[in-house]
């Protein structure tokens, strides 16, 4: 056979040999640790490699079926225990339009915390009366719109109360408002920077002012305990405190509270870095939360049957518990290396630019290809030229190769909103529809998107503008050359 016709053999990457201490079967306080490789070929029923081929990598993949199922399950847990309940979709958790509209189709209100989020909800077609307007920074302009459109405005501080009053007076309307409260339940660190503090008497003062104002209709009480609250009893205490306050102000002021809004904070099945046990063992079920919340509400509002007041509507604003596990991130290995301490490492095409939550979760990482060798402690770096860009500091993975795909989950909460355009473009986000069809719900950025908001003053229209300063005489020559081709320009002598 002539030399040049011999069949080509596939080339495998050569990896230098290394010595690693054998750790499999190590004992920890729960027994022997036997890491198992987690491997998947498809996500939400669609082949990973096909998704990558069609939509590129990295890629966020969202499941319509999972999202609808999640919100229905959570709403049902409350509705079977307290008939009059409503979910407010927390826009900041994931404000991709398709995600918001799936939840609105399921009957969720829009819970927004800024002018941008308010405008987005309206642009999606949510009527003003179906918007809960939270947040500490509401400008006069956006309040004018919210009051005119009948949104429920949750007051954060006294200046805002006065501003809403003035806006409503100017429009000759009565604004629908709720008071955001903060207090100590004894179970979680109080978020005392939002709303009016109960223990100090501020909340009482605000209730008095709102109740007395001809421009405000105080219809609700709101509080948000915090996030990833693992103790259902925290919510029981929250409801108890809010109901006690409702009873107090209803007896001292001329108000009727129709809404008790307990905010969000229910955990998802993600693994917090600070918690040793896996989420399956530490995250209580939705029913456990609903049981405590609704049970307390039933107890604390029993007295109302002897009055002419109806029962309040229970609003909850869950974000992460609804959307987190409805989305995964597909990422590719760009290259591998061995760190000086012997650990395996891989550089991925997605990092903390896309996975902001990698700073506090140990996301699940699954491989997609054939089984390949023993698992080893591996560090997953992102693509950024920044030392803190680490997706996982330590995860047991088989040997990786450039081009391999990894699936990171759950990632649906707070990544599509807190991701940052830093160094890299943001990638496609796709939705797997209920019938299995796949479509892009947020297109990948490109240079035109990135430069769309830049404005170049005339004198900066070209990159090599002739600016002369001491020690930079070569600019003068460049300027003279440019003078022949580019106009207008000017030599600046410093």
Ligand X SMILES: Cc1ncc(COP(=O)(O)O)c(C=O)c1O
Residue of 207, 255, 266, 411 interacting with ligand X (CB under 6 A): 266
- Looking only at the bridges linking them, the beta strands covering 216-222 and 175-182 are parallel
Q: How far is the CB of 255 from ligand X (least distance, A)?
A: 22
Q: Which part of the chain contacts ligand X (CB under 6 A), choosing from 55-63, 94-102, 312-320, 326-334? A: 312-320
Residue of 224, 364, 392, 426 interacting with ligand X (CB under 6 A): 224
Q: How far is the CB of 263 from ligand X (least distance, A)?
A: 4
Q: How far is the CB of 193 from ligand X (least distance, A)?
A: 11
197 phi, psi to nearest 5 deg: -80, 135
Footprint on residues 321-360 left by ligand X (CB under 6 A): 321
Q: How far is the CB of 75 from ligand X (least distance, A)?
A: 14
Q: Is 416 in the site for ligand X (CB under 6 A)?
A: no
Q: Is 482 in the site for ligand X (CB under 6 A)?
A: no
In angstroms, the CA 234 to CA 228 distance is: 11
Q: Is 411 in the site for ligand X (CB under 6 A)?
A: no
Residue of 264, 382, 383, 398 interacting with ligand X (CB under 6 A): 264
Q: How far is the CB of 206 from ligand X (least distance, A)?
A: 17
Which contacts of 397-401 are long-range, i.e. CB under 8 A and separated by 24 or more positions?
A: 397/37, 397/344, 397/346, 397/365, 397/367, 398/37, 398/367, 398/371, 398/372, 398/373, 398/374, 399/15, 399/336, 399/344, 399/372, 399/373, 400/333, 400/336, 400/344, 400/346, 400/367, 401/13, 401/333, 401/336
Residue of 111, 258, 300, 404 interacting with ligand X (CB under 6 A): 111
Q: Is 270 in the site for ligand X (CB under 6 A)?
A: no
Q: Is 415 in the site for ligand X (CB under 6 A)?
A: no
Q: Is 424 in the site for ligand X (CB under 6 A)?
A: no
- Choose among 322, 302, 309: nearest CA to 82: 302
Q: Is 320 in the site for ligand X (CB under 6 A)?
A: yes
Contacts of 443 (CB under 8 A, 6+ apart): 428
Rg (CA), the chain: 28
Q: C-alpha angle with apex 267: 330 to 82, nearest 5 degrees?
A: 125
* Helix, strand, coil shares, percent, the chain, to 5: 35, 20, 45
Q: Is 383 in the site for ligand X (CB under 6 A)?
A: no
Q: Draw the binding track, 123-142, toward ligand X (x: CB under 6 A; -: no contact).
A: -----------x--------
Q: Is 318 in the site for ligand X (CB under 6 A)?
A: yes
Would you say 328 and 43 are in contact if contact means Cβ atoms under 8 Å apart?
yes
Q: Which is nearer to ligand X, 134 or 332 (CB)?
A: 134
Other C-beta atoms lying within 10 Å of the C-beta of residue 238: 26
Q: Is 263 in the site for ligand X (CB under 6 A)?
A: yes
Cα 324 to Cα 66, 122, 348, 416, 436: the distances in Å are 10, 24, 21, 11, 20
Residue 305 is given by DSSP the state G
# residues near ligand X by CB under 6 A: 16
Q: Which is nearer to ligand X, 383 or 412 (CB)?
A: 412
Q: Which is nearer to ligand X, 321 or 395 (CB)?
A: 321
Residue of 227, 256, 336, 418 interacting with ligand X (CB under 6 A): 227
Q: How far is the CB of 413 from ligand X (least distance, A)?
A: 6
Matching residue, tokens 């799936």: 102
> Residues interacting with ligand X, by CB under 6 A?
90, 93, 111, 134, 224, 227, 263-266, 317-321, 413
């Amino acid at each position: 056979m002539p030399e040049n016709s011999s069949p080509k053999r596939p080339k495998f990457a050569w990896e230098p040999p290394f010595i690693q201490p054998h750790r499999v079967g190590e004992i920890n306080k729960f027994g022997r640790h036997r890491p198992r490789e987690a491997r998947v070929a498809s996500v939400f029923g669609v082949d990973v490699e096909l998704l990558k081929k069609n939509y590129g990598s990295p890629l966020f993949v969202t499941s319509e079926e999972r999202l609808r199922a999640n919100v229905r399950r959570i709403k049902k847990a409350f509705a079977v225990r307290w008939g009059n309940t409503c979910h407010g979709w927390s826009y900041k958790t994931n404000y991709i339009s398709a995600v918001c509209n799936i939840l609105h189709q399921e009957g969720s209100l829009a819970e927004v915390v800024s002018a941008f989020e308010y405008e987005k909800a309206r642009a999606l077609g949510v009527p003003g009366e179906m918007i809960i307007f939270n947040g500490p920074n509401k400008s006069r302009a956006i309040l004018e719109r919210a009051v005119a459109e009948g949104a429920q405005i949750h007051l954060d501080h006294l200046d805002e109360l006065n501003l809403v009053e003035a806006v409503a007076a100017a429009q000759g309307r009565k604004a629908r408002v709720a008071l955001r409260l903060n207090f100590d339940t004894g179970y979680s660190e109080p978020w005392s920077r939002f709303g009016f503090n109960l223990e100090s008497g501020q909340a009482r003062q605000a209730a008095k002012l709102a109740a007395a104002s001809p421009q405000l209709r105080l219809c609700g009480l709101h509080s948000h305990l915090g996030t990833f609250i693992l103790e259902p009893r925290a919510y029981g205490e929250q409801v108890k405190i809010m109901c006690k306050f409702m009873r107090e102000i209803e007896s001292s002021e001329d108000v009727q509270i129709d809404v008790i809004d307990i905010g969000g904070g229910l955990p998802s099945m993600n693994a917090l870095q600070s918690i040793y046990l896996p989420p399956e063992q530490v995250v209580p079920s939705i029913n456990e939360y609903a049981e405590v919340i609704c049970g307390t509400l039933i107890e604390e509002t029993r007295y109302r049957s002897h009055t002419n007041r109806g029962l309040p509507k229970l609003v909850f604003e869950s974000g992460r518990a609804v959307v987190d596990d409805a989305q995964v991130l597909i990422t590719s290995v760009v290259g591998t290396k061995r760190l000086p301490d012997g650990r395996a490492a891989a550089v991925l095409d997605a990092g903390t630019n896309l996975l902001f939550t990698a700073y506090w979760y140990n996301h699940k990482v699954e491989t997609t290809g054939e089984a390949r060798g023993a698992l080893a402690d591996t560090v997953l770096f992102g693509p950024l030229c920044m030392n803190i860009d680490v997706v996982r500091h330590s995860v047991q993975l088989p040997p990786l190769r450039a081009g391999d795909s990894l699936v990171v989950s759950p990632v649906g909460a707070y990544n599509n909103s807190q991701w940052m355009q830093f160094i890299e473009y943001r990638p496609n986000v796709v939705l797997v529809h209920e019938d299995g069809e796949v479509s892009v719900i947020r297109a990948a950025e490109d240079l035109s998107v990135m430069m769309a908001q830049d404005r170049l003053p005339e004198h900066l229209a070209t990159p090599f503008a002739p600016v002369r300063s001491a020690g930079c005489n070569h600019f003068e020559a460049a300027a003279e050359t440019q003078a022949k081709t580019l106009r207008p320009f000017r030599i600046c002598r410093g």
